[in-house]
Structures are given as C-alpha cells and as structure tokens.
Amino acid sequence: MSRQAPTVRSVLGRRGFSSASEICGRSFAASACQPARCGAGAYSSRSVCNLGGSRRISYVNGVCGTGCFGDFGFGGVGYGGVGGRVGLCGPRGYSIIRGYPDRKADGIQGICIDERLLKPLCVGVDPLEHEIRCQEKEQIKTLNTQFACFIDKVRFLEQQNKVLETKWGLLQQYVLPKKGKNLELYFENYICDLRKRLDCLLCEKQKLGSEECATSQLVEEFKCKYEEEINRRTTVENEFVALKKDADCIFLNKEELEVKVDLLRRQLELLKCVFEEERAQVDRQLCDTSVIVKMDNNRDLDMESIIKNVECWYQEIAQKSKEEVDAFYQTRFQELQDKRGKYCDDLQSNKCEISELTRMIQKLQCELENVKKQVSCLQTSICDVEQRGDCALKDAREKHVELQNALQKAKDELACMLRDYQELLNVKLALDIEIATYKTLLEGEESRWVLLSEVSSSRILPPRVATAPWGGGPDATAPRTEGSAPGAPGSIPRECTAKPGASAAKTGDSAPGAAGTQPAPSSARETRA
C-alpha cells in the first residue's frame, strides 16, 4: 500500500479555504492548493472517489453563510471561486485543484509530518519500527477521520452555498413591490368610490329636493281645494303632519342604516383585500426555496448537532423576521386605525353638514312658498290695478276723443262766426262810407237851405227877433217849404253835424274789436231816422 503524505495549503482573502481529495481503491492521495479568489470568506472543494472499483465524482461550489470545522478551525462567510483540474482516479491517481486568492489570511494550518518518513527505509531491523508503524497507522487513521469529517462539512457547506446561491438568484430576479404602494392604491380607490357615492347622494338630494318641491306644490294645491272643509282639514292636517314626521324619521333611520351597512360591507371588502395583499407580501418575504442536492454520504456524521444548529439558526431568523413583521404591521395597523378615525370624523361632519343643508333647504323652501304666495297676491293686485287702469285709460281716451270733437266743433263754429263778423265789418265799413257821403251832401244842402231861408224870411216876415225853441237863429221861424222832410237841413240840429273823418276814424277803431259788439248809431243815422 503506497502512501503519500497529505499536503494542505490555504491562502484566503479573509476566511477562505480550498481543498481537493481523491480516494482510490488501494491508494490515498490528497492535495490542498490555493483557493479561488474570494472577497469575504470563501471556499472551494473537489473530491474524487473510487471505492470498490466504482467511479464517482462529486462537484460542489458555492457560497457559504457560516462554517465551523472541528480541529482545523475553518470558518467564514463569502463567495468562492474554483479553478483547476479534476482527474478521475483509477487504481492510483490524484487530482489537483488550484485557485487564486485576493490576499493572505487565516486558513487551514499545515500538517506536521515526520521527515524521517521521507527517508529511504533501512534494510536492517529496527526495534522501534513496529511502534513507529503503529503510531503512523494511528496518525493516518486520525487524519483520515478528521479529513472525512472535514469533507462532510465541506459538502454540507457546499449544499448550503448552492441553496443560498439559488435563493440569491431568485431574489435578484424577483423585485419586491414598494411598501405601501398597493395599500395606497386600495385606499385611493376606496376614496374615489366614496367620492362617487357622495356625488350620487348629492344628485339624489337634488332630485329629492325637486320632488319635494313638487310634492309641496301638490300639498298646497290640495290645501286650496279643501279650504271649504275647514274643520275636517285641520284634523286631517294634524294627523298628516304627525304621520309625515314618523315616516320621515323612519325613512331617515332606514337610509342611515343602509348607508352604515354599505360602508361596513365596503370596509370589510377593503380589509379583506388588504389582508390578502399583506399575507401575500409576508409569504413572499418568508418563502423558503427548497433545493434538492444529490450526494453520496458514505460516512457516519453527527447530523443531530448539525440539525440542531441549523434549527436554532432558522428559529432565530424566523423569530427576528416575525418580530419585524409584527412591528411593521402593528405600526401599519395603527396608521390605518388613525386614518379610519379621521375618515369616520369626516363622514360624521359630512352627515352633519348634509342634515344642516336639508334643514336649510326646508327653511328656504318654506320661505320660497311664502314669497310665492306674496308674489301671487301682488300679481293679482297688479292685475286688478292694471284692469282698473285700463278702464280709466279707456274712459279718458273716450273723453279725450269727445273733447277733441267738441273742440273741433267749437273751432268750426268760431270760424263761421269770424266769417260772419268779417262780413258784418265789411257791411259796416260800406255803411260808414255811405253815411259819410250822405253827411257831406246833407251839410252842403243845409248850408244852401240856410241861405235860402234867410233870403225868404227877409222878404216875407217883418223884422223881429224870435228865438226858436230848438235854439235856432232869427230865421228859425221860417215856414217849411213843401217837400221838406224831417231830415231837411232846416230840421237838423247843430250837434248832429260832425265831421265825416271823425266818425270814420271812430268806426275804424271799433271795427277790429271783439266779435258781437255793435257800433253806436251815428248822428247822421239818427237824423235820417
């Protein structure tokens, strides 16, 4: 049986190692070379086995989170890289694995080997040879057991490394959603839904207001129709008001209960969605990826301690994750409770505002009805006043037409009177001219007759003076000749002899006077009469 002294060398960046081994049917060779480049505690391992003629090769590399290696004291965390060659063993063979570290650090310690074993054997018989061989056998056994434990631990760590690499790849591929994003979307949708509900309620409120106006108008019409039955109307109105109040209270309570039920149903759906989303997030965060790695474990290992350590480690991780999740969701639940209280307060304030608005609407509707009644009364009074005004205006127009007709008639009569007056003035002027001409003729004739009478009296009568009763001269008693008229020159008194210019001027002054005034008779007309 040939023997080769195992050689182990380790150079790590921080805490890394690399190992290689081969086990053949009748020979044993192990070599540990420099590991692959590692940044923070890495390792790499290769093993080639040939036991009983069968050929198996196991190949493991990966990342280890934690490691502990018995007497050699190997441990570290990090990535590992592998470089080198793997050889398949026959009866006697070996494999070499080489790696390149970043920098030196604590790793696998070198194995002390007796240099005397390297020297050629003496042909002579040594009494201590048997003891030395026994010691060598024991030492090889211990080394083999330690190396087997080391290989098993390396395999386990490689499995863990593979599992962690798989998890790391999955986590890199999977992008966690931002915290609170889905919940914000749910709450935004819920708020939008509430706003839509509020808009619908406002629209229904307007419709109900219009319907209420219509019903109030119908009630007013019915009241007007039933004004004849006053006693019966009062009792019926009292009963109607009481029933209406009860119905309004019942209807409002029913609407409030329906709104509360709807809100509770929506909150329940929202909380269900939030719970499902949070549970999905927790499941995604705490999901464990199972990786099946086939391996050939030919050694009896202390699996119970390993399992206990792994269980403790996972329990600590699970407890820590549970505490973090509990704290996170406790804070989140508190925030949601605060928001719920805020939304409840806002809803209560909105309800109060709606009730105040309904009361204000009812008050305004009553005022509007009163104003409508006043407007109707004013419209009726305005119609009456307009009718009376129309009648008065019609009478005034008729009177105005009558007065215009009377005025036109008076104007026509005045025009006729003016024409008659003008004709009379023309006649008067003609008569005045005629009178003036006759007056001049009479004066001439009078003067001539006076002269003739004086001559005749001097011839017939004795010369005596006699005064006529009419104030004539001495010749006043002369006898009247035949053919003398009372208007003869001898019979005309002196005061009747007026100048024609004076009378003409007088008539001319009185001619354009007021209508209907007759001129005074002249002396000539009196004398002529």
Q: Is 98 helix (H, G, I), strand (E, B) or coil?
A: strand
Smallest CA-to-CA distance from 53 within 26, 85, 22, 87 is with: 26
Q: Cα dist. 507→417, 418, 462, 498 in Å?
A: 20, 18, 46, 14
Q: Where are the alpha helices (DSSP H) in 174-227?
A: 181-225
- The residues near 496 (Cβ < 8 Å, ≥ 6 apart) are 523, 524, 526, 527
pLDDT digit of tens for each residue in the chain (529 aa)?
A: 344 444 434 333 344 444 444 444 443 333 334 433 434 344 444 444 444 444 444 444 443 343 433 343 343 433 443 333 333 334 343 443 444 444 444 556 667 777 776 766 655 556 677 888 888 888 888 888 888 888 888 889 989 888 988 888 888 886 555 554 567 887 888 888 888 989 988 998 888 888 888 888 888 887 777 677 777 667 767 888 888 888 888 888 888 888 888 888 888 888 888 888 888 887 777 765 454 555 555 555 567 788 888 888 888 888 888 888 888 888 888 888 888 888 888 888 888 888 888 888 888 888 888 888 988 888 888 888 888 888 888 888 898 899 889 899 989 999 999 899 889 999 989 999 989 888 888 888 888 888 888 877 766 555 444 444 444 444 444 444 433 434 433 443 443 343 444 443 344 444 334 334 444 444 444 444 3
Which strand ranges, in their side-by-side order, compose the sheet holding 17-23?
Answer: 7-8, 28-32, 17-23, 43-49, 56-60
How far is 409 from 309, CA to CA, in rounded Å? Answer: 141
Count of Cβ atoms closer than 10 Å to residue 436 Cβ: 20
Triad 343, 344, 346: Cα angle to 5°: 60
Could you tell me the residue ranges of all domains in the chain?
Answer: 7-119+133-173, 177-206+224-287, 425-528
Beta bridge partners of 7: 31
Beta bridge partners of 21: 30, 47
Residue 280 in tokens: 């999905």
Q: Cα dist. 342→76, 339, 345, 346, 349 in Å?
A: 53, 5, 5, 6, 10
How far is 44 from 17, CA to CA, in rounded Å? Answer: 7
